Amino acid sequence: MQLSDFGKQMSSDAGILTLMDDLGKALAGDKPLAMFGGGNPAQIPAVTNVMKHELELIMADDARLAAMLGNYDTPQGNDHFIDAIVKLVNREYNLGVTRDNVAVTPGSQNGFYMLFNMLAGQTNGAKRKIMLPIVPEYIGYRDQMIEPDSFVSVRPRIDKIGQHEFKYRIDFDAMQIDESVAAIALSRPTNPSGNVVTDDELSKLAELARQHDIPLIIDGAYGLPFPGVIIKSAGQHFDNHTILSLSLSKVGLPSSRVGIFIGPPALMKALSSISAILNLASPGIGQYLVTQLIDSGEIMTLARNEIQPFYADRQQQAWEIFNQKLPGDLPWRLHSYEGTYFFWLWCEGAQKTSKQLYDYLKEHSVIVVPGESFFPGQNIEEWDHARQCIRINFSRPDEELEAGAIILAEAVRWMYN
Ligand code: PLP
């Protein structure tokens, strides 16, 4: 039996499949020595306790329980949840949005699939693309386009900092926007690099989006307002060309599958219509669970007091351990850590590729994510840098960071032999 072109494309060797496969196997089978792959949020007991309490309150209320389990919500999302989101973002950032600016999707991953494809692809006889103004960028975007080759991306400027650190910056001189660009999209903080595009860079992108009358999509899965895992000062941007996406996943509820999009009403209406066709409605359980937390603003307190300090602590430990263990005489560099749950390691001038490094580490029971799939819109054969990086999830216990770093240090030495 045959698969359609769409079927083949979606079931071929997608980077996200390897990632989820490694993650699933590691959780189900033999525990690796160090699980630095995957994007699972850490399980933070204080967060789990708050969610447990919210669940108990719902279970004690028959009407809420019945509604949570037994109702399809509207395709736009649950009414109370949407009201709570509107209240929160207006209170935190004075965005001046209304219910019409919001669409809830079954996870933001699914939301991006709908959003990207509703904007890019064949449009009045011409092909339009999603522009990623800086790569590397989130692996999960790469295989989402129904029409192949629908990303265009811009290589960053690379600032080297000291012996073992670097930072990406948007290269505005290399950015060319014309009629073929349907939208500009970026994650902030960026998965995988841990970069936070500066307020100034973001304002310039917003200006370009406004000039060309296209949306600027800011994926805030790790960012503002929650969980706000950003360690430098960073402002929020929103105007009538912005689409901001949020997720309950990185707050600790990845299985709830709730993505939240805030943007121009006409686009949010289109997104909800597509969601009705694909999904009927978004899962209600997560929306019910956190509505009170969002409405009261308690989610911000939880993020500030528990989630952000947790990742700040893990990051500091991991940064110290990796810098201690990795061979000081070789030219590896970690991207400056500014946010997310990841480090991004670059082995400049290495003899071997990051895919080979990934295989070596996997054989030695350390799971990471090879960098090649994080460069949508680029021909990675023509750019060494795109074959010299790996992503490391640092939010692991100390012993695991130590054990993994020792193997990683050997592997990095092997990279240069
Ligand atoms: N955006 C970024 C940057 C992510 O890292 C992820 C998940 O890892 C997503 C979006 C998708 O998250 P979800 O579908 O769980 O909301």
Name the helix (H) or strand (E) containing 128. Answer: strand 126-132
What is the CA(358)–ligand 1 centre distance, in A? Answer: 22
Ligand 1 atom, smallest distance to 257 CA: 15
Helices (H), 60-198: 62-70, 79-93, 108-119
- Of 3, 10, 274, 20, residue with least CA distance to 148: 10
CA angle 207, 244, 346 (to 5 degrees): 85
19 lines ligand 1 (CB under 6 A): no
Residues 256/289, Cβ–Cβ less than 8 Å: yes
221 lines ligand 1 (CB under 6 A): yes
194 lines ligand 1 (CB under 6 A): no
Strands 165-169 and 332-335: parallel
**Topology alike, domains 5-46+302-415 and 64-296:** no
331 lines ligand 1 (CB under 6 A): no
pLDDT for 8-22, tens place per residue? 888 876 555 665 566
Residues 226/41, Cβ–Cβ less than 8 Å: no
What tens-digit pLDDT sequence spans the chain (417 residues)?
A: 999 988 888 887 655 566 556 666 655 667 889 999 977 788 999 999 999 999 999 999 999 999 999 999 999 999 999 999 999 999 999 999 999 999 999 999 999 999 999 999 999 999 999 999 999 999 999 999 999 899 999 999 999 999 999 999 999 999 999 999 999 999 999 999 999 999 999 999 999 999 999 999 999 999 999 999 999 889 999 999 999 999 999 999 999 999 999 999 999 999 999 999 999 999 999 999 999 999 999 999 999 999 999 999 999 999 999 999 999 999 999 999 999 999 999 999 999 999 999 999 999 999 999 999 999 999 999 999 999 999 999 999 999 999 999 999 999 999 999
From 193, 219, 229, 257, mutation site for ligand 1 pocket: most ligand atoms within 8 A of C-beta: 219
- Of 351, 355, 345, residue with least CA distance to 387: 355
What per-residue confidence (pLDDT) applies to 38? 79
Fold of 64-296: Aspartate Aminotransferase; domain 2 (3.40.640)
pTM: 0.95
- Of 343, 322, 338, 337, residue with least CA distance to 411: 322
pLDDT for 105-124, tens place per residue? 999 999 999 999 999 999 99
What per-residue confidence (pLDDT) applies to 8? 86
39 lines ligand 1 (CB under 6 A): yes
Strands 216-219 and 181-187: parallel
User: What is the gyration radius of the CA atoms in the chain, in angstroms?
Assistant: 21
The torsion of the CA quartet 169, 310, 81, 58, rounded to 10 degrees, works out to 170
How many angstroms separate the CA atoms of 93 and 307, rounded? Answer: 20
Q: How many whole angstroms from its chain centre is CA 168?
A: 17
What per-residue confidence (pLDDT) applies to 42? 87
What is the CA(331)–ligand 1 centre distance, in A? Answer: 31
What per-residue confidence (pLDDT) applies to 175? 97
Ligand 1 atom, smallest distance to 250 CA: 15
What per-residue confidence (pLDDT) applies to 299? 97
As assigned by CATH, the class of the 5-46+302-415 domain is alpha beta
What is the CA(372)–ligand 1 centre distance, in A? Answer: 18
The amino acid present at 44, given as its one-letter code, is I
340 lines ligand 1 (CB under 6 A): no
What is the CA(130)–ligand 1 centre distance, in A? Answer: 17
Residues 379/149, Cβ–Cβ less than 8 Å: no
Residues 364/411, Cβ–Cβ less than 8 Å: yes
ω into residue 327 within 30 of 0, thus cis?
no
- Of 187, 185, 228, residue with least CA distance to 209: 185
What per-residue confidence (pLDDT) applies to 26? 59
Partner residues linked to 35 by β-bridges: 367
* Assigned token pair, 215: 């949306």
Query: First-to-last CA distance in the chain?
Result: 47
The amino acid present at 159, given as its one-letter code, is D
- Of 415, 412, 416, 395, residue with least CA distance to 34: 395
From 134, 191, 342, 395, mutation site for ligand 1 pocket: most ligand atoms within 8 A of C-beta: 191
Residue nearest to atom 7 of ligand 1 (CA): 39
* Assigned token pair, 246: 């949020």
Residue ranges of domains in the chain = 5-46+302-415, 64-296
Residues 149/130, Cβ–Cβ less than 8 Å: no
Residue by residue, what is the 3-state secondary structure of 206-258?
HHHHHHHCCCEEEECCCCCCCCCCECCCCCCCCCCCEEEEEECHHHCCHHHCC
CA angle 367, 16, 339 (to 5 degrees): 70
107 lines ligand 1 (CB under 6 A): yes
Integer angstrom CA distances of residue 413 from 175, 238, 325, 356: 36, 45, 11, 13
